[in-house]
Chains A and B, each alone.
Chain A
């Protein structure tokens, strides 16, 4: 079964305490993996797209990496404004159709 699993479900960090969020997937025919940030009451906001294993992308304090089975979103020295839910989504082929499946997300809280 095609699945996208994010861990942990929730993460509480002190300001400046670096950590990583995980997105693991069991799909075949990967076309791309997306990371989004979602603030309460708002729609998801695009962060990164990764297409192949070994690829890395960075934006400010965030760095996304991709392997054949999972992706990590590394947060370096987070600030309170990084508090949000981070979603990953996988674009893949299944049964001849293109599909996009989202994970449930990791809710990050950064405490001053």
Chain B
């Protein structure tokens, strides 16, 4: 099916472990985004990518790494997970940054113990 998918949907890990969240979109959208959503905060941008091999920091990038070797994939890696990174992570894509609608994936719920 066309759309944007995320995996895993749920993840429990321990402090200090490396975790990678996957995001895949089938629209060939140029832009992809990673957000985190926490109680009391709006969606906060972690990283975004304008195209393959082009990435840039968002509002809260510390502790995260991204890559985009292919247009359709945009993985997010927590290099050494911390409890403060417990959150719901959403991936989104759009044809043009902000000028068009952002389409969101279903989210990944991450718990860091």
Using a CB–CB cutoff of 8 Å, the interface residues on chain A facing chain B are: 4, 31-32, 34, 36, 41-46, 49, 87, 89, 91, 98, 100-105
Contact = CB atoms under 8 A, between A and B. Distances in A.
Nearest to B4: A43
Contacts, number: 48
Contact of B42 (A32, A49, A104): A104
Q: Interface residue tally of chain B, by bracket?
A: 10 to 19
Interface string B24-55: 00000000000100001111110000000000
B98 A98 contact: yes
A102 B101 contact: no
- Chain B contact residues: over half helix, strand or loop, or mixed? loop
Q: Which of B40, B98, B101, B104 has the most CB of A within 10 A?
A: B98
Interface string B58-95: 00000000000000000000000000000000101000
Nearest to B40: A104
B106 interface: yes
Q: Which 8 A-B pairs have the closest CB atoms?
A: A43-B104, A102-B42, A91-B98, A102-B43, A46-B101, A44-B104, A104-B42, A103-B42
16 contacts: A4-B42, A31-B99, A43-B104, A43-B107, A44-B43, A44-B90, A44-B104, A46-B101, A46-B102, A49-B101, A91-B98, A102-B43, A102-B44, A104-B40, A104-B42, A105-B42
